[in-house]
Amino acid sequence: MLSGCNFMNSHIRLIIVLIVCVITYNQLLQINSLYQKKRMEYSHSRNELILSSVYEFNLLNQNLEKNDIVSFNSKSQKLIYFIDGEKHVFQLNSGDDIRKITERIDYDLRNPETWTLANLRRHLQEKQDSLQLEFQDLRMFMCDSSGRVKESWPEQTDPMPEEMPFGEPMGFLSGDKLFADYAYPWKEFVQAASYEIFQTILLSVLLVICVITLLQTIRNEKRKGKYRESFMHHIVHDLKRPISNQLKVCYLLRETSPEESIRLLEKSQEELEKMLYSVNRLLLQSTDAHGLKLMIQEIDLREMLETLTAKTPEDAEKTCRIQLEFQPEDPTIFGDYDLLSAVFQNLVDNALKYSGKSVDIQIRCSESDKQQLEITFQDNGFGIPPDNLKHVFERFYRGDSPETKKSKGHGLGLYYAKTILLAHRGKIHIDSEQGKGSTVRILLPRKANIKRKYKLKTHERT
């Protein structure tokens, strides 16, 4: 079973790792998609700025002193230039935009001495300062119709990048084309998409936590199912043997002498007490989603606790001494006798189970006030490690210490003990130091407002 559990744990860990990787990869794709969207918006705004600056710069640099002119024939879709007295004709396409035509023709009439990329950069700088926009590592290239770089800013010998965010044809006659390259800063992306990034990361973390919690819940439910099955097998075995022995005693009593009958009856009484203990364990397990039914009656608490001191451990290798100190003058309380007896018996059994060969158990009952009693179980056992102490009341929880692994159990006793005490409006607390024993303190009301049926609340199930 241990190898099976290890396989299941490794299998669940692998599933968690795979799911986390898938979620992380998916969220990275989301962030990358968001990055591309914001980058496109950034490029669009910068490209519009460059384009408007270029057309303004074309107007500012027209060579008007040479009386160069241009005319447009809308019917024939022709541009007619007179530059330095020479006629130049350019045939347009039918789909060309009139606005674009009027903006581009100015470039063909420019003064080449003043129209330079350095001057264009200064004009662009003035415009972006007025709009409070910035470029990161802006570079510009002017290419001719063959794609050869005619001019660059800043001047450099490095080859022109293959892909650039801006590319726009300048004039119709020259065939020149302007390219611009600039970086999209991560700072700009983080500022522009900080809310979306935070939302994506938060959803990813929550989704991962939900997946891990779900898989852990599935694993715990599988483990609880195995414990339940094992628990029921043990209960059936514990009840089957004493019943079988009692049947044998019934047959033997018919043919035995009175002296022998007394010995058989004493042995029968011991077997019946063991059966009663098993029944009490079944009563403990009856706390389920349908609630815990209480049979309220008057109880002599001193008598109940004194029966515990008469018990002897079933392990012949252990010696046990149980001392009872009962201080209240009035031992009467109201509660369910069988359930409270099962709680106290479970605490004694735990002290015996998780102790060495010599076991000392001290049971003290004091009266903190007239309304409630305090019952303390103190032993000299192995103690509980600090990491396990905060989980001892959880259902099916068993510690991972060597002493716990050697002892049989299903992690149900303290869970049901707390449930029963809560049903009686009581409290339970455990103090323990590893290697020095444990102390269990119980506060139990004398006449609490106890319901006949107690339903375990959700926050009390852990």
The C-alpha angle 29, 30, 33, rounded to 5 degrees, equals 85
Encode pLDDT of 82-130 as tens digits.
887 788 889 888 777 777 787 788 888 888 888 999 999 999 888 888 7
Across-strand partners of 374? Answer: 366, 443
Is 198 contained in some domain?
Answer: yes
The last residue of one of the domains, among 237, 270, 303, is 270
pLDDT of residue 442: 93
Q: Is pLDDT above 50 for 187?
A: yes
Is 281 contained in some domain?
Answer: no
Residue 395 token pair: 């259902």
pLDDT of residue 289: 44
Is 275 contained in some domain?
Answer: no
Shared domain check, 223 and 163: no
Q: What phi and psi values does residue 411 have, to the nearest 5 degrees?
A: 70, 30
Is 69 contained in some domain?
Answer: yes
Residue 64 is classified by DSSP as G
Which 3 state secondary structure label does DSSP give 294? coil
Residue among 182, 190, 185, 207 nearest 34 (CA): 190
Range of the domain at 223: 194-270
Shared domain check, 203 and 119: no
Q: Give this prediction's pTM.
A: 0.45
Is 212 contained in some domain?
Answer: yes
Shared domain check, 264 and 342: no
> DSSP assignment of 173-193, as one string?
SS--EEEEEEE--HHHHHHHT
Is 255 contained in some domain?
Answer: yes
Of 401 and 259, the structure prediction assigns the larger pLDDT to 259
Indicate the number of domains in the chain: 3
Shared domain check, 208 and 102: no
112 to 105, 253, 419: CA distances (angstroms): 14, 130, 94
Is 277 contained in some domain?
Answer: no
Predicted confidence band at 1 (pLDDT cuts at 50, 70, 90)?
very low
Shared domain check, 198 and 188: no
Shared domain check, 338 and 413: yes
Count how many Cα atoms sit within 13 Å of the Cα of residue 178 in the half-sphere of its side chain: 22
Predicted confidence band at 461 (pLDDT cuts at 50, 70, 90)?
very low
Top mean-pLDDT range of 56-60, 131-135, 217-221, 405-409 = 56-60
Shared domain check, 255 and 122: no
Count how many Cα atoms sit within 13 Å of the Cα of residue 187 in the half-sphere of its side chain: 4
Shared domain check, 161 and 40: yes
Q: What is the H or E stretch that residue 137 is in?
A: strand 136-143
Predicted confidence band at 325 (pLDDT cuts at 50, 70, 90)?
very high
Which 3 state secondary structure label does DSSP give 456? coil
Shared domain check, 207 and 186: no
The last residue of one of the domains, among 141, 167, 192, is 192
Encode pLDDT of 330-343 as tens digits.
999 998 888 898 89
Per the document, the length of the chain is 462
Output the domain CATH number for residue 415: 3.30.565.10
Q: Is pLDDT above 90 for 376?
A: yes
Where does residue 239 rank: exposed (0-12), middle (13-18), buried (19+ CB within 10 A)?
Answer: middle
Shared domain check, 432 and 295: yes
Per the CB < 8 A criterion, the answer to whether 361 and 347 are in contact is no
How many distinct helices (H) and strands (E) make up the chain?
11, 16
Where does residue 446 rank: exposed (0-12), middle (13-18), buried (19+ CB within 10 A)?
Answer: middle
Shared domain check, 24 and 153: yes
Encode pLDDT of 14-43 as tens digits.
777 787 788 778 878 888 888 888 889 888
Shared domain check, 202 and 220: yes
Q: Is pLDDT above 60 for 324?
A: yes
What angle in degrees, to the nearest 10, is found between the helix axes of 194-253 and 2-60? 170
Of 277 and 423, the structure prediction assigns the larger pLDDT to 423
Is 283 contained in some domain?
Answer: no
The last residue of one of the domains, among 137, 157, 192, is 192
Which 3 state secondary structure label does DSSP give 432? strand
Residue among 291, 392, 388, 302 nearest 350 (CA): 392
